[in-house]
């Protein structure tokens, strides 16, 4: 996520919509992709993204710049995505998102691209086996490249808990990867 | 064995994420040279990381900013609309024109007036009936006094010819 100049934050807090669009441009990719990884559904990811930006807009005045703006956005995103995931029914969660699948399919489907899309489907299936907390921790570290301190700030947990969650999530993924595909879960 | 557990803990977290100190890093690297079990774990973790590295970010749908901007404008309009005070709300409650209420009140008034008129008419008719009955009895009594004996009062026509 790109850094945002303080004057843009101040103008946004004063209600300037152009300045708020700058914030959107700098942060929307992070927000949308984390939402997509957690909810696994493009429609839900759009809903979460809209919710996150409405929360940012409403609370920017009271933000107070006591903590890093980036950490604040991480926290709002993660909390909104996890809450949305928990509220959505089990049935909705297991539904295949065809938009997402079509986007990942390459046009001419050369072998390497097929392998890549298969490995993405496998990654998604493995991530689905994890709890939302472990999954989010791993997404923030492995895909978004956040440091332990940033993850701790985003999830509002101690550094040691970040470490433990990452370790357990990796162990669980290794165990799942070693399980034969026909083996019952 | 306990050394392996210690190293595997670091392998799956700080060492793997480059968050460990130089001393820890060195001790893990030295252990990995000697221990094949921990070396295998490291290779598995590297393979797992490759899966994540292949995960490319998806582009944000173009229409999303438009939706968010519209929602913000709608919220601003809602906030800018003044909320009426207690006195104004009370005034509205009393004086605001409500077509259904006005119609119901008009119909009710008409029904009340009609009911009063009908009632007055019925009372008049009843009073007239009582008066004519009293006059009839008085008439018969007067006839008896004049020496006529009336055995059968008969119908109105007969009474007329009598």
Give the total number of structural domains in chain A.
1
The span from the CA of B122 to the CA of B115, in Å, is: 11
CATH number of the domain where residue A74 is located: 1.20.140.160
Shortest Cα distance, chain A CAs vs residue B83, angstroms: 19
Tell me, what's the pLDDT at B154?
55
CA B103 to chain centre: 25
Task: Assess A61–B contact: CB distance below 8 Å, yes or no.
Answer: no
Instruction: Tell me which residue range forms the domain holding A100.
Output: 6-178
Q: Is residue A185 assigned to a domain?
A: no
The DSSP code for A107 is S
Percent of chain A predicted with pLDDT > 90: 48
Q: Contact A120/B54, CB-based, under 8 Å? A: yes
Query: In this structure, is residue A170 part of a structural domain?
Result: yes
- Of the candidate ranges A58-67, A123-132, B32-41, the one whose mean pLDDT is the lowest: A58-67
Report chain A's mean pLDDT, rounded to a whole number: 83
Instruction: Identify the pLDDT of residue A80.
Output: 95
Give residues with Cβ within 8 angstroms of B103, minimum separation 6: none
d(CA A134, CA A99): 26
pLDDT at A171: 93
CA–CA dist B139, A115 (Å, integer) = 124
Whether A183 maps to a domain, the answer reads: no
Give the pLDDT confidence score for residue A91 in this predicted structure. 56
Q: Across the interface, do A163 and B69 touch by the CB < 8 Å criterion?
A: no
Give chain B's mean pLDDT. 82
Question: Could you tell me the end-to-end alpha-carbon distance of chain B, in angstroms, rounded to an integer?
Answer: 142
Contact at CB, A46 and B61, closer than 8 angstroms = yes
Q: What average pLDDT does this structure show over A85-92? A: 72
Q: Does B23 lie at the interface with A, CB-CB under 8 angstroms?
A: no
Instruction: Tell whether the model's pLDDT for residue A106 goes beyond 50.
Output: no
Give the angle B14-A134-A172 at the CA atoms, nearest 5°: 80
A59 touches chain B (CB under 8 A): no
Please list the alpha-helical segments (H only) found in B12-85.
Answer: 22-34, 36-53, 64-80
Highest mean pLDDT among A89-93, B80-84, B109-113: B109-113
Q: Which pLDDT does position A185 carry in this prediction?
A: 46
- Confirm whether A135 is domain-assigned: yes
- Distance between CA atoms of residues B39 and B63, nearest Å: 48
Nearest Cα of chain A lies from the Cα of B61 at a distance, in angstroms, of: 8
For the segment A89-103, what is each residue's pLDDT rounded down to a tens digit? 665 655 555 455 444
Q: What is the pLDDT of residues B20-31, one digit of tens each?
A: 889 999 999 999
Chain A nearest C-alpha distance from B46 (Å):
11
Residue A105 has a pLDDT of 45
Residues in Cβ contact with A170 at an 8 Å cutoff, skipping those fewer than 6 apart: A138, B12, B13, B16, B45, B48
Nearest one of A161, A101, A167, A120 to B17, comparing CA atoms: A167
In a domain, A18, yes or no: yes
The answer to whether position A137 is within a domain reads yes
Average pLDDT over residues A45-63: 92
* Chain B contact present for A179, CB below 8 A: no
- A177 interface with B at CB cutoff 8 Å: yes
């Amino acid at each position: 996520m790109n850094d945002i100049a303080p004057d843009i934050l101040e103008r946004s807090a004063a209600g300037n919509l152009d300045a708020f669009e700058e914030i959107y441009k700098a942060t929307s990719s992070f927000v949308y992709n984390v939402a997509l990884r957690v909810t696994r559904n493009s429609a839900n990811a759009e809903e979460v993204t809209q919710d996150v930006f409405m929360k940012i807009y409403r609370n920017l005045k009271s933000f107070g710049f006591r903590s890093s703006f980036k950490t604040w956005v991480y926290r709002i995103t993660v909390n909104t995505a996890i809450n949305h995931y928990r509220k959505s029914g089990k049935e909705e969660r297991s539904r295949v998102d065809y938009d997402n699948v079509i986007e990942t399919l390459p046009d001419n489907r050369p072998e390497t691209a097929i392998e890549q899309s298969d490995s993405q489907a496998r990654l998604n299936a493995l991530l689905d086996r994890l709890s939302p907390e472990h999954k989010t921790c791993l997404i923030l570290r492995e895909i978004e490249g956040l440091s332990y301190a940033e993850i701790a700030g985003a999830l509002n947990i101690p550094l040691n808990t970040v470490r433990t969650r990452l370790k357990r999530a990796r162990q669980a993924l290794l165990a799942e990867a070693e399980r034969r595909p026909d083996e019952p879960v | 064995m306990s050394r392996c557990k210690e190293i595997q803990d670091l392998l799956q977290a700080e060492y793997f994420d480059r968050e460990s100190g130089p001393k820890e890093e060195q001790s893990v690297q030295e252990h990995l040279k000697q221990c094949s079990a921990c070396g295998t774990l490291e290779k598995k973790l590297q393979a797992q990381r490759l899966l994540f590295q292949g995960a490319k970010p998806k582009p944000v749908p173009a229409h999303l900013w438009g939706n968010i901007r519209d929602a913000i404008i709608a919220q601003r309009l809602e906030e800018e609309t003044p909320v009426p005070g207690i006195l104004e709300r009370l005034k509205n409650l009393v004086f605001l024109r409500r077509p259904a209420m006005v119609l119901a009140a008009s119909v009710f008034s008409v029904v009340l007036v009609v009911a009063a008129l009908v009632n007055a008419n019925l009372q008049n008719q009843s009073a007239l009936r009582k008066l004519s009955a009293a006059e009839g009895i008085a008439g018969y009594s007067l006839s008896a006094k004049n020496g006529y004996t009336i055995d059968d009062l008969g119908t109105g026509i007969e009474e007329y010819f009598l």
